[in-house]
Structure formats: structure tokens, C-alpha cells
Amino acid sequence: MLTVESLKKSYDEAPGRPARRKKSDTTRTYAVGGVDFEVNDGELFTLLGPSGCGKTTTLRSIAGLERPTEGKVSLGGRVLFDSAQDVNLRPNQRGFGMVFQSYAIWPHMTVAKNVSFPLEVMPRAKRPSRQEIDHQVADVLESVELGSYAQRSATKLSGGQQQRLALARALVTRPELMLLDEPLSNLDAKLRETMRFELKRLQRELNLTAIYVTHDQAEALVMSSRIAVMNEGRVEQIGKPREIYTRPATRFVAEFIGTSNFLEGKVVAVNGDEVEVDTPHGRLVAADPPRKPVAGDPVLLSIRPECVDLSRERRGLPNEWTGTVRTRAFLGDVVDHIVRIGDTEIRNRSNPTLSIPPGTEVHFSVTPDKVTLVPVD
Ligand SMILES: Nc1ncnc2c1ncn2[C@@H]1O[C@H](COP(=O)(O)OP(=O)(O)OP(=O)(O)O)[C@@H](O)[C@H]1O
């Protein structure tokens, strides 16, 4: 298990040209401002967040390519970095496999040579025999489905095949942990989608433990065992994909992952697992909030568009409101309606069999367990 504790990385930033700078001009900016998480064996753990939130810096700190300012990183009890004890193992002492955005396969080598090379350059004491190397290379090429390409020049592979080769090269040394930084971002959209499933299949079949960095929420939701959503150098929430999507802990997470309707309100009563909230447009009931509020607390309600149930007739359901369809957009497999209620717009996403023209009065409802309470700081 990998453990990351209170990890911080700051860069000194100074304005102007170096020769004219005074030490007092320098300001500290934290790319990573105190991050904690654990990655269990066999997990694909994703660091997800917008550009500049500190994902790559966190990953590079784990890899040993960056020296953190503070914190501790350990793997199965072995300390890799600890600012307090002044421990900082070099990247090659950490034994991780790495695949980065620019997958940089060696173009002058064959596919097989690209994979055997990391084994051939191992110190003599650790290096497997020629026979074992050939065996391991054949095995790993088979697992990434490149077995029949072994003797081909590495440059004569498609983008997706080159990506799988980069993965094979990282896998062949049987690392305890794989570090993957946006490995699919150079591929076209269609291939990227196929490769998500490929990578996931490989990770499961080989029971790999991996940390995966991406800014693509769909990629994270499809592939991850668990996700850490990062924002401005901090972790906002850690959870399974479904949990992150259905139970966002903060407004940032709710906005970053998918689309959501937000309503501000105030808690009026808490009855067991149910919380009643007054909003400018009426009362709503939310069920089973992750953190129990008390009456009087201001809260933010988050409702996913696909959880808004639209109907031409009033059905007497809980959380049922009346509004008017303002726009309707057909998106092929789904249809979106924007419904106006007072000065608020609520987005609904439905099966295309339901299509209600603008101007129609509609009744919409949401079941209490689909209303998420987001704490307001
Ligand atoms: N060497 C450096 N010197 C100064 N600032 C840096 C350095 N490297 C990164 N940063 C800053 O640290 C912050 C985090 O960068 P990082 O690359 O970790 O973000 P990221 O989430 O991986 O972004 P992206 O998805 O764009 O790669 C950014 O504001 C970046 O500008």
C-alpha cells in the first residue's frame, strides 16, 4: 500500500529579472498544499482535477522526480521520502513503472527490443538470463496484444499500439506501482475511448496497482477504483466513481464532475435520515445526507439533470414543482429540457421518447435520495 502524508510542494516565485531581485521579493506558491491519501494493492487510483491543480506535481513527487517541500511518502512500510528524516530515495531506487503523456518509445529499436531493453540494462546481480528476458518480453507483449508485432520497427505502429508498447515497457520490470500521467491524451478521441477499456482490462488482469493522472472526468469515472478530486493543490474528495458523482462533498466537485442543478436553501427540519430544506421556490426533502446538518444551516442542493423527472401531469410525488419548459435540445441518445421556475432554471435529461415543446407547463420531481446536500463553508 502506498501512503502519502501531508505532501507539500512550493516553488519560489520572484518577479523581474534574477539580477534585480531581492530575497524579500520572493513569494512562495504552493503547487501542492498538503495532500493525504492511501492507495491499496490492486487499485487504480486517479488524481483528477483541472489544469494546474497539482496532479502532476503530486505524481512526480511520488516518483522521486520532484523533491517535495514537506511530507512523507511510503510504500508498504518502506519510506521513500520523509522531509522530517531527510530521506529521499532516487527514482530508480523506488522501483516504479512510469508512463507519461509523451510516451517516447525508442524509435530505432524493434517492438521487442523496446521492451527487453529495461531488463538488459539492469545491474548484473538483478538481471534475468537471456532466456528469461525473452520469456518475459513475449509474455508482456502478449498481455498488451502486441505479440505478433515483436519484430516490427517501433515507429511502424499506430498511436494506440505505441501507447500499449510504452505500457509494456513499463510493465516488464514488474513494478510494485505504476504511475500514469495522462497517458492517453495524445490519442484521438475514438482511440482514447477504446484505450480506457484496454487499460482497465490490463490493470484488472495483471492486478496492477496504479496511480493515474487525468483532467478528463469521463476517463476517471470509467477507469478508476477510487478518485481523488484535486483543486488548487488540495484534495476536495476521495471516493469511488459512483460516490463522487452521486454524493459530491463540495460545490467544486459537483461542478467539475458532470452537470448539476444548484439551489440555495436553509435547513428547516431534520427527521431521522430526511432533511427538509426551504428554497426560494418551495420546500425540498433530501434523504440520507453524508453529513447531518441542523435546523438553520445554510446548504446548497445539487440535483443531477437525469434525476429530474418531468411530466405533463401532476402526480402528487414528493419534491414536485411546477414550471414552464423554456428550451428543448435533442442530443441523439438523450433530450435535455430547461424548465423555468421563477427566476431559476432547472435542467432535465430524459430519454428521447419524452419531448415536450417550449412554453408547455410541466411538473417535475426528484426523489429525496437524489437530492444531494452540499455543505456551505
Ligand atoms: N517548476 C515549476 N516552477 C514553478 N511553478 C511550477 C513548476 N511546476 C509546476 N508549477 C506550478 O504548480 C502548479 C501545479 O502544476 P501541475 O503541473 O502539478 O498541475 P496539473 O494539475 O498537473 O496541471 P496539468 O493538467 O495542466 O498538467 C501550477 O500552477 C504550475 O504552474
Q: Which amino acid belongs to residue 349?
A: R
DSSP per residue over 235-277, as a string?
A: EEEEE-HHHHHHS-SSHHHHHHSS--EEEEEEEEEEETTEEEE
pTM > 0.80:
yes
Measured in Å, residue 193 CA sits from the centre of ligand 1 at 26
Q: Which amino acid belongs to residue 67?
A: R
DSSP bridge partners of 106? none
Structural domains in the chain? Answer: 2-12+28-252 (3.40.50.300), 259-374 (2.40.50.100)
Pocket test for ligand 1, best of 55, 182, 186, 216 (most atoms within 8 A of CB): 55
ipTM: 0.93
331: Cβ contacts below 8 Å, ≥ 6 apart = none
Task: Strand 210-214: give its sheet, edge to edge.
Answer: 96-99, 177-181, 210-214, 44-48, 226-231, 234-239
* CB-neighbour burial class of residue 81 (10 A; exposed 0-12, middle 13-18, buried 19+): buried
Cα(264)–Cα(26) distance, integer angstroms: 41
The band of 125, judged by pLDDT with boundaries at 50, 70 and 90, is: confident
DSSP bridge partners of 87? 82
pLDDT digits over 214-241, tens only? 999 989 999 999 999 999 999 999 999 9
Which residues have C-beta atoms less than 6 Å from ligand 1?
A: 11, 31, 49, 51-57, 215
Q: What is the pLDDT of residue 27?
A: 65
Pocket test for ligand 1, best of 57, 101, 211 (most atoms within 8 A of CB): 57
Predicted confidence (pLDDT) at residue 48 exceeds the cutoff of 80? yes
Which residue lies with its CA nearest to atom 28 of ligand 1? 52
pLDDT digits over 137-187, tens only? 998 898 888 999 999 998 898 888 888 898 889 888 888 899 999 988 777
